[in-house]
Structure 1
Amino acid sequence: MSRRTEIDDSKPQPPQNDDVADDDSSPAQQDEPHDQEKIRKRDYIDLPSHPYIMKILNKQGDQIVLFADKVLKFTGSGKMKCRFLLITDFAVYIVDPDTDSLKRRIALAAVEKICLSELTDNFLAVIIPTEYDLLIASSRKNEIISAFVEAYELEVIPSNRFQYNAASDLVKEIEFEEVEGGVKTRILRK
């Protein structure tokens, strides 16, 4: 069964008894009324409850959301910021949940690959050769990777050391090392 969400800007219909989710972490939603196929989605922020995000997606013309959740985004200076990450069938969106504003939209065609460690940590880097890269942390790393691959057949590179462009003129290297009790992560300037 497909795990995606269709955005419908028509008036919401009252829920039917058979629209009940299998579990609370992955609610079901109906697709177009004509085919009545149920679609499971990776929507952990309840997109319909965020009208400003729906407006952004509708304005950009994105119709299918493959993933939506809060993540930690790392800035070029090394600060961590809470952001909404949305992956559609055409783009990646970074939205500030505090100001309800779109911070970044990255076309999937611009993404070259995804880098992540081989260990059980939450980090992944989205490598975008024409811009600066995106380093994020999420406990749903595997679901993010699945959404990327489903949307755009991206190359996924597992490595315990890789470089990324933290800003247009700043290259950093991230290293992962297994230590007693977990994973040690170091981010170094190159």
Structure 2
Amino acid sequence: MSRLNSNRRIQIDTSEPRYDEGDSNDGSEFQPSNSDATEDLDPFMGVKVRRKASRLRDYQGDYIDVRPRPHLMKILEKQGDRKVLFADKVIKFTGSGKMKRRILLVTDFAIYIADPETDALKRRVALAAVEKLCLSELIDNFFAINIPTEYDLLMASTRKTEIVTVLVDATKSASDYELEVALSNRFEYSAAADVVKEVQFEEVEGGVKTRIVQR
């Protein structure tokens, strides 16, 4: 994959997404992360520093009540998916670097990305196509889903731990394949065809500074 030469940077100094009305193209909606952190062995092998609140939080799975939403149910039924393992609003980063609010749905077969206003399907990715998940070692909400046959997904969610756990468990149940969870404070992802970006994390006073750099 070729890499575009560019000095364009997106700098996000904070890490908590809020779901207010309207889309944002900058980092203004990311609030400082909480320094109340701990280490947990599952699912991040003792490497990922996590908030105590995330470790103790009960997982609910469906946070948007999918069943009464006919457009979402129609999408799932068309694909033969009826078991929703996770559903919530997230922040998704586009190939151009914009932030969009999206619905992330995970079933036992696939990942769905939908528009939260219309429930229209934006993308479907089979779990079998996912190679690994990329996360930092710090307290932040970012995660990338690496899909070698397509472009990758970079998203942010306050429920990142639950999303990662669901994806790892669902993949193992469906194919007996252990999905790799790669932890690094720098990782690359394919933002679009022939566009590779690097996400950089740095611990600073009061939170984590995140930069997205086009390679």
Q: Structure 1 length as normaliser, TM-score?
A: 0.78
Instruction: Specify the alignment match of 1:66 in structure 2.
Output: 85
Instruction: Specify the alignment match of 1:54 in structure 2.
Output: 73
Shift of 1:183: 0.2
What is the alpha-carbon distance in structure 1 between the residues aligned to residue 84 and residue 179 of structure 2?
17
2:62 pairs with 43, 52, 59, which one?
43
Instruction: Specify the alignment match of 1:137 in structure 2.
Output: 156
Shift of 1:48: 1.6
Alpha carbons 1:41, 1:66 under 8 Å: kept: no
What is the alpha-carbon distance in structure 2 between the residues aligned to residue 41 and residue 65 of structure 1?
11
Q: Which amino acid aligns with 1:174?
A: V
What is the alpha-carbon distance in structure 2 between the residues aligned to residue 63 and residue 45 of structure 1?
15
1:166 pairs with 191, 208, 213, which one?
191
Shift of 1:72: 0.3
Number of residue pairs matched?
153
Instruction: Specify the alignment match of 2:33 in structure 1.
Output: none
Shift of 1:154: 1.1
- Listed one character per residue, the Cα deviations across residues 19-73 of structure 1 (whole Å, up to 9, x for unaligned) are xxxxxx97xxxxxxxxxxxxx8410001122111011101100121111000000
* 1:151 aligned onto 2:176: no
Q: Which amino acid aligns with 2:198?
A: E
Instruction: Specify the alignment match of 2:25 in structure 1.
Output: none
- Listed one character per residue, the Cα deviations across residues 91-150 of structure 1 (whole Å, up to 9, x for unaligned) are 000000122210000000000000001111000000000100000000000000011011
Percent sequence identity over matched residues?
69
Instruction: Specify the alignment match of 2:3 in structure 1.
Output: none
Q: Structure 2 length as normaliser, TM-score?
A: 0.69
Instruction: Specify the alignment match of 2:204 in structure 1.
Output: 179
Q: Which amino acid aligns with 1:93?
A: Y
Report the structure number with the largest CA radius of gyration. 1
What is the alpha-carbon distance in structure 1 between the residues aligned to residue 201 and residue 151 of structure 2?
21
Instruction: Specify the alignment match of 1:122 in structure 2.
Output: 141
Instruction: Specify the alignment match of 2:132 in structure 1.
Output: 113
Q: Which amino acid aligns with 2:180?
A: E
**Equivalent position SS for 1:54:** helix
**Equivalent position SS for 1:81:** strand
**Equivalent position SS for 1:144:** helix
What is the alpha-carbon distance in structure 1 between the residues aligned to residue 112 and residue 103 of structure 2?
8
Instruction: Specify the alignment match of 1:75 in structure 2.
Output: 94
Compute the RMSD of aligned alpha carbons. 1.4
